[in-house]
Amino acid sequence: MARNPPSDAPRRNLYGRARGRGLRASQKRYLDDLVQVGLAGVKRDENPGRQKLDLKATFGDRPVWLEVGFGGGEHLVHQAVRNPGVGFVAAETYVNGVAKLLGKVRSAGVENIRIHPGDARDLMDVLPDLSVAKAFLLYPDPWPKKKHYRRRFVTPEYLDPLFSILAPGAQFRISTDIPDYVRQAMEEVPKAGFVWQAERPDDWRKPWGDWLPTRYEQKAVREGRTPTYLTFGKPGA
């Protein structure tokens, strides 16, 4: 199965805007914490050879979970608090979201999160094969125009490298409120090698037992859209 395209190949934007309204003074101070919780060796200018990260040096023997696009970070911190024996890696291009996450990390006092403030594909490039035990894709950018569907995460350009870094038996969770995103996920994710783990008709309508509704989900519900929860697994183990 294909991994990432060559490092010099052009890439389509997976994400929208990288910055919103101006940061508050406190949020700017939170960004200073990237020195402690940022993942070194992910950016292309600091690791042009795309050498793999040494996750054991960061997390020891903890299993590693990945969140792609953590938004404001509420789900990520929630999971880190619930699972202190897990190491979390996450990527987010939106600097305002990064600042919000860092504020939540400070407040919660968690120490098992490491983040890449940039494109998730750059992070997946340098994660070792078979190293991730669980992955989350929660309310990703829907790219609603048909001509932009190929920019969605649920396409081979992103799913193939994700499949490579997930360990056998790993779980891949997707939540979205966009029906056409569900359609595309159900078509493309199994093609990448994943198996849909629903056993009953209601499985895709009910959140996971450890779920924390994100602000994106709360907005969707307020606006009358219905959340969908998809659980896939990588065969093996």
Q: How far apart are CA 224 and CA 79, in angstroms?
A: 27
Most confident of 33-37, 85-89, 115-119: 85-89
Q: What is the pLDDT of residues 176-191, one digit of tens each?
A: 999 999 999 999 999 9
**pTM of the predicted model as reported, rounded to 2 decimal places:** 0.88
3-state helix, strand, coil in the chain (%, to 5): 35, 15, 45
In 28-185, where do the E strands start and end? 64-68, 87-91, 113-116, 132-138, 166-176
Predicted confidence at residue 25, as pLDDT, reads 63
How many alpha carbons fall within 13 Å on the CB side of residue 7? 14
Which one, of 132, 134, 37, 165, lies nearest residue 92 by Cα? 37
Predicted confidence at residue 49, as pLDDT, reads 94
* pLDDT mean over 43-64: 95
Predicted confidence at residue 4, as pLDDT, reads 45
Q: What is the pLDDT of residues 102-143, one digit of tens each?
A: 989 999 999 999 999 999 999 999 999 999 999 999 999 888
Q: What are the structure tokens assigned to 46, written together?
A: 């600091």
Predicted confidence at residue 221, as pLDDT, reads 94
Per-residue pLDDT band at 94 (split at 50, 70, 90): confident
Q: Return the domain boundaries, the chain.
A: 25-233
Task: Answer positive or negative: Cα dihedral of 43, 46, 50, 52.
Answer: negative
Predicted confidence at residue 29, as pLDDT, reads 65
Predicted confidence at residue 148, as pLDDT, reads 77
Q: Which residues are known to be catalytic?
A: 141
Angle at 132 between CA 170 and CA 180, to 5 degrees: 65
Q: What is the pLDDT of residues 14-29, one digit of tens each?
A: 544 444 456 666 666 6
Phi then psi dihedrals of residue 171, to 5 deg: -110, 140
Q: How far apart are CA 32 and CA 37, in angstroms?
A: 10
Architecture of the domain delimited by 25-233: 3-Layer(aba) Sandwich (3.40)
Q: How far apart are CA 112 and CA 202, in angstroms?
A: 33
C-beta of residue 139 within 8 angstroms of C-beta of residue 71 = yes
Tokens 């994100």: give the residue. Answer: 214
